[in-house]
Amino acid sequence: SQKIEQNSEALNIQEGKTATLTCNYTNYSPAYLQWYRQDPGRGPVFLLLIRENEKEKRKERLKVTFDTTLKQSLFHITASQPADSATYLCALPDASGGSYIPTFGRGTSLIVHP
Amino acid sequence: EAQVTQNPRYLITVTGKKLTVTCSQNMNHEYMSWYRQDPGLGLRQIYYSMNVEVTDKGDVPEGYKVSRKEKRNFPLILESPSPNQTSLYFCASRGQGNQPQHFGDGTRLSIL
């Protein structure tokens, strides 16, 4: 199955700066990759999907890149705000058994300081 | 409103006492799955279902059962709970293709 690596250390940044989070995977390149946000004690909420033939995807202050050569996705939040503080998870479809149920990384905690 | 509903939200119980966590979705999704989330381990998939009467094991199925008799419901059953099943559990559903997962609000289980 897919192995997904996200930085386990929390990312601390100042309000207004750009946050960049990394998701690396080790096995086959997936057809797409998703990013979710999770607040403490709540279920993850879907943010963005990027397909393997897309280099970049944007949604408001969010930007995701997908490099299938490096087996890496970067997730950027520009002009970050304290309300952006949360854990961000990347997810890749696991094709084993044909289910394509996503496998999640462990997530990276983002803390935006006012 | 599109949602995934889990019950109960919190449960404290004792070892060996059978329990069921219910999950219901109102989006007519084919796929449903259960995850557990533990500190430092992230979300791990327990069981998933691709449609009615079709279920399969995820990464950590031991000690759990599921059923999918109706499209909207996917209960998680712990026949004989043990303390190592103390965790935060999430049910999720999604439609076909690359549709995103919709998660419930979670069930925090404590097995004493």
Kindly give the pairing relationship between strand A32-38 and strand A45-51: antiparallel
pLDDT at site A96? 53
More confident residue, A97 or A93: A93
Cα→Cα distances A3→A13, A88, B13, B70, Å:
27, 17, 34, 33
Interface size A-B, in CB pairs within 8 Å, comes to 56
pLDDT at A95 over 80: no
Model confidence pLDDT, tens digit, residues A67-90: 989 999 999 999 999 999 999 999
Contact A89 B50 (CB under 8 A): no
pLDDT at A97 over 50: no
Taking CA atoms, what residue in A is nearest to B104?
A: A43
Residues in chain A: 114
Q: Average pLDDT per run of 10 along chain B, which is 112 residues long?
A: 94 96 96 94 92 92 97 97 97 89 96 96
* B43 contact residues in A (CB cutoff 8 A): 44, 89, 104
pLDDT tier at A52, thresholds 50, 70, 90: confident
* A34 contact residues in B (CB cutoff 8 A): 98, 100-101
**How far apart are alpha carbons B78 and A35 in whole angstroms?**
30
- Out of A37-41, A67-71, A92-96, B25-29, pick the least confident: A92-96
- Nearest CA of chain A to the CA of B64: how many Å? 18
Nearest to B101 among A1, A8, A46 (CB): A46
Contact A91 B101 (CB under 8 A): yes
| Widest pairwise Cα distance in chain A | 46
* A1 contact residues in B (CB cutoff 8 A): 59
Closest listed residue to residue B90, CA positions, set B47, B30, B39, B26: B47
